[in-house]
A and B are shown apart, each in its own frame.
Chain A
């Protein structure tokens, strides 16, 4: 889903398909950049879309598969599990922040939480590469370090966007579930072994 600030309503009704595709792709790319270099920016929030979260969720779920020879249990439940955890977790956090009186809309919050999974997806990629080397305490320390750094990055990126929408005395109450959400995902990434 996308939202857009439009000055001329009729212009997007008649634009070419290529324009639409390029516009949407640029918006998704811009948001990825914003996650990598988090800055407080209200204009980003106004333009939400859920393509980035979908891509990231599918990528993360694919990477978290245990490659097994037995085709019956070929990682199916784990794939759906990651999907459900990410989306159900994001919906719960959004409901929580709305109940606390935040003035952010449902889809905006889903958008921010989904895009801020990007650092953790990068951590998953790095972990998978590191796991190609031999297992051992050093291997674990490297992965642990990478996951901790990316976890902190996700938290910083998402609170840069979300904390402003809460009244000042409720900020901690709204940020704590986000912390928990990314902690669960980081835990899944850290404890992943390809057996």
Chain B
């Protein structure tokens, strides 16, 4: 009976594995890089806040514009080079070879068995939420600037749309590229599990 129970346990663990790739993994809902998560949201949100409240903060258009430009640049660099790497293990960049042709490279960290390198769900949610919500807001601002004829802000808003949209596009391509690998990996893994179950049924318990 005990042997039967242990067989059932291993079957349960195998089913668990079919959805995720490694065994004995604790719940990954804690935030492993609080500083990176903070800065990921800080630059984006403060750029939007400064844009909305610029009239209240200072009467100088230039100070507001320079501040927003600096915040958008810092946000672009931080999200592209730091927070994407740390929070979700994705990276994208441009590579120019000897012929002068430019290639866009999208890479993602392979799923490894090390605890410290797996992606935490909370961080992933924060990352994608910040990545998607802010460019949408900047597009809304672009239309409102255009239609309310506040054209002097249009340069800044377009810069916001372009920079944040570029990061969004790059990371989506990283994610889509990696999912193809995940699909094939999961398929082969499920196939192995299925084989193991059918051959395991043949053996006496």
Contacts and interface: CB of A to CB of B under 8 A. Distances in A.
A105 B100 contact: yes
B89 A74 contact: no
Interface string A62-87: 10010000010011110110011000
B73 interface: yes
A45 B100 CA distance: 9
A106 to B, nearest CB: 8
Contacts of A30: none
B24 interface: no
B60 interface: yes
A39 interface: no
Contacts of A107: 94, 102
B25 interface: no
A65 B62 CA distance: 9
A147 to B, nearest CB: 24
Taking each of A5, A54, A76, A108, which has the highest tally of chain B beta carbons within 10 Å of its own beta carbon? A76
A145 to B, nearest CB: 30
Given A3-B93, A4-B95, A12-B91, A76 B62 contact: yes
Interface in A91-141: 103-105, 107-108
A170 interface: no
B89 A13 contact: yes
A79 B96 contact: no
A74 B109 contact: no
Interface in B61-86: 61-62, 65-66, 69, 73, 76-77, 80-82, 85
B107 interface: yes
Contact of B102 (A3, A75, A83): A3
Instruction: Give the interface size bracket for A toward B.
Output: 35 or more
A62 B61 CA distance: 12
Contacts of B60: 71, 74
A105 B66 contact: no
A88 to B, nearest CB: 10
A165 interface: yes
B164 to A, nearest CB: 13
A12 B93 CA distance: 11
Given A3-B94, A20-B81, A165-B100, A71 B59 contact: yes
Contacts of B82: 17, 20
A48 B96 contact: yes
Contact of A3 (B81, B96, B107): B96
B152 interface: yes
B15 interface: no
Interface of B: 59-62, 65-66, 69, 73, 76-77, 80-82, 85, 89, 91, 93-96, 99-102, 107, 109, 152, 155, 166
8 contacts: A2-B94, A4-B95, A13-B89, A13-B91, A13-B109, A74-B61, A80-B65, A107-B94
